[in-house]
Amino acid sequence: MIDSVLNPYTEAYNRSLTDPVGFWTDQARAIPWVEFPTDILSKDENGLTRWYADGMMNTCYAAVDYHVEQGRGDQIALIYDSPVTRTVRRYTYRDLQTEVAQVAGALRQLGVGYGDTVVIYLPMVPEAAFAMLACARLGAVHSVVFGGFAPHELALRINDAQPKVILSASCGIEFDRVIPYKPLLDEAIRLAEHQPDYCLILQRPQCTAELQAGRDIDWASVVRQADPAGWIPVRATDPLYILYTSGTTGKPKGIVRDNGGHAVALKYSLKAIYNVEPGDVFWAASDLGWAVGHCYIVYGTLIGGCTAILFEGKPVRTPDAGTYWRVIQDHRVKVFFTAPTAFRAIKKEDPEGRLRQGYDQSSLETIFVAGERCDPPTLNWLGDLTGVPIIDHWWQTESGWPMVANPMGLGPVLVKAGSSSLPVPGYDLQILNEAGEPLGPNEEGYVCLKLPLPPGFTPTLWRDPERFRQAYLDRFPGYYLSGDGGYRDADGYVFIMGRVDDVINVAGHRLSTGEMEEIVSAHPAVAECAVVGIADELRGQRPVGFVVLKDDWLDTSRSVETELVAMIREKIGAVAYFRQAVIVKRLPKTRSGKILRKTIRQIADGESFTVPSTIDDPMILDEIRVMLNHSGITRS
């Protein structure tokens, strides 16, 4: 429990641990049910935690129809802002109800019903949100796959999800490039063992796809002619969606989200963490292919009666590094949520924040960042630029909502740079050592969650409960292993220092690459960095920095490297053995903005590796390899 002066946060947190059934029963009353649950916390046939097992509800109803029934049908529910197509469209809750019912009717006409699966392979267009909600309306299970995913990876997901129908589009758009999707989809289906009955194809004007007779159906024609479908009651424990993450075996892990616990947790989080109310504009600048897009563009935002923004663009080059500030102004955004990497990209192109000038930001109250650790220099730069609280919070695809955060709706706590603040109510977070024993303040170890996990957390993996146990529960019995390392300070604040395999061993000393990145990123020349432990014959491992410089510092790379080495020596000491900082043009990342540190290490160590399916641009790996060879780092 949290020991401090009683306030709304400590009261909620302590009760959530001492009386989880009572606490989550109260939170469940905030969403509409067909049958309110009485079996609040139980175990399923595999011995895994389930919430609200006997409850009946429908997520689409809670997100759309309920608000229309409550007299709020004319409120804007969804704003589609697409600088890449120069389009802005607004949908009221009543509009959304109509659009979703039509898509659900088309899916029903194609044979999709309760318990069937549907793969959604679409760009950031309103139809993607309609499709997700339409599946929920019918009790079908959807799996959104990031638009433009490579055919092999899409085929793996098709085989695992076994969809009856795939929803896709003729193309996506990145910056000024049109990316045809249909050839990628056709190849994925050719590679897949499982074959869908139909593919529903959204034709976009930037690129028209050739349809395969008998399998492919034009979206506009079938949706327009369909009879609208109503919603059906489903069990709270029925799966709502599958969201795949990379697995260590090469087979993707299908994270499952249920209906009831998911809706309750998201509704609770909107007020408790983000401090948004019905009618507020909440913008999560993410992609629907990621957990943030599911939870805070579509389901959570709409269940909470807010206005969501679906943004088809990038933080830079659409058309410039001021595009985020323009969206905040135009749509009167109250709370903004994105990844730290987006702001680092903006800072690199506009370090003085000049492009923000001229845009009215008076509606903006808070900025939240997540997806990777937010280095203090970026956090401080953003805070100085905007003058609003910058909240770094921590969660995972598996959790589906934040695990550690500054609870802005429960009386915000002191901000500590480098910390995600305090555990969210429902999460009994502990730091364990190798033996599974709790560690004391400022002792770094494995970040774990004591069971039971709260509502909204994935209860299992798709059709593979044993793999769920092996991946998350077996290492420390009674705990969920997050895979991240970190510590808590004397005040209980949580510091996430990176994945446990990012903790390196230098001559017997366990050192955090996250701490080194924090030091390196504090240099005024550094726009972005990654510190990776590479193999060293004498010390086991040694850290090497990979640094992207701000544009106006490019001519000083040699002196910057010397200064960075000196900074690490001063802050950590010679024990760190930080001797090199390689200046690179850019860092390899996933499409969600996470730096591929493991891949950098594999290149440096001369190991064989598979190009990650989530990589934003594979050509970056060749650039890294050239720079490593030039620096004499790469091992043969």
Structure tokens at 387: 């003058």
- The string over 113-126, giving b where at least 16 C-beta atoms fall within 10 Å of a residue's C-beta and e elsewhere, is eeebbbbbbbbbbb
Complete DSSP assignment for 102-137: HHHHHHHHTT--TT-EEEEE--SSHHHHHHHHHHHH
> How far is CA 73 from each of CA 77, 97, 231, rounded to the nearest angstrom?
9, 9, 17
Q: What does the pLDDT look like over 568-601, one tens digit per residue?
A: 988 888 888 999 999 998 999 887 788 888 889 9
CB atoms within 10 A of CB 571: 15
Comparing CA positions, the residue from 552, 635, 612, 627 lying closest to residue 150 is 612
Average pLDDT over residues 386-403: 96
User: Is residue 511 a contact partner of residue 499, using CB atoms and an 8 Å limit?
Assistant: no
pLDDT value, residue 474: 97
Query: What global pTM score does this model have?
Result: 0.88
pLDDT value, residue 250: 56
Query: 551 versus 308: which is more confidently predicted?
Result: 308
User: Is residue 516 a contact partner of residue 578, using CB atoms and an 8 Å limit?
Assistant: yes
Please provide the average confidence, as pLDDT, over all residues in the chain: 93
pLDDT value, residue 502: 66
Q: What does the pLDDT look like over 57-87, one tens digit per residue?
A: 999 999 999 999 999 999 999 999 999 999 9
Q: Which has the minimum average pLDDT: 156-165, 261-270, 409-418?
A: 409-418
Average pLDDT over residues 446-454: 97
Percent of the chain with pLDDT over 90: 77
pLDDT value, residue 508: 65
Residue 55 clears pLDDT 50, i.e. is over it: yes
Place of tokens 């769920």: 468
Average pLDDT over residues 163-178: 95
Residue 522 clears pLDDT 70, i.e. is over it: yes
In which band, very low, low, confident or very high, does the pLDDT at 192 lie, cut at 50, 70 and 90?
Answer: very high
Q: Which has the minimum average pLDDT: 94-108, 258-272, 479-493, 543-557?
A: 543-557
> How far is CA 477 from each of CA 362, 445, 470, rounded to the nearest angstrom?
49, 16, 11
Comparing CA positions, the residue from 567, 475, 584, 556 lying closest to residue 522 is 567
d(CA 604, CA 546): 11
602 alpha carbon, distance to own chain's centre: 25
Place of tokens 């499709």: 131
Residue 152 clears pLDDT 90, i.e. is over it: no
User: Is residue 414 a contact partner of residue 5, using CB atoms and an 8 Å limit?
Assistant: no
In which band, very low, low, confident or very high, does the pLDDT at 498 lie, cut at 50, 70 and 90?
Answer: confident
Query: 399 versus 518: which is more confidently predicted?
Result: 399
Residue 127 clears pLDDT 50, i.e. is over it: yes
Q: What does the pLDDT look like over 415-448, one tens digit per residue?
A: 888 899 999 999 999 999 989 999 999 999 999 9
pLDDT value, residue 636: 47
- Compute, in degrees rounded to 10, the torsion defined by CA atoms 182, 187, 188, 190: 130
Average pLDDT over residues 406-416: 90
All structural domains of the chain, each given as residue ranges with its CATH number in brackets, are 507-631 (3.30.300.30)
Residue 373 clears pLDDT 80, i.e. is over it: no
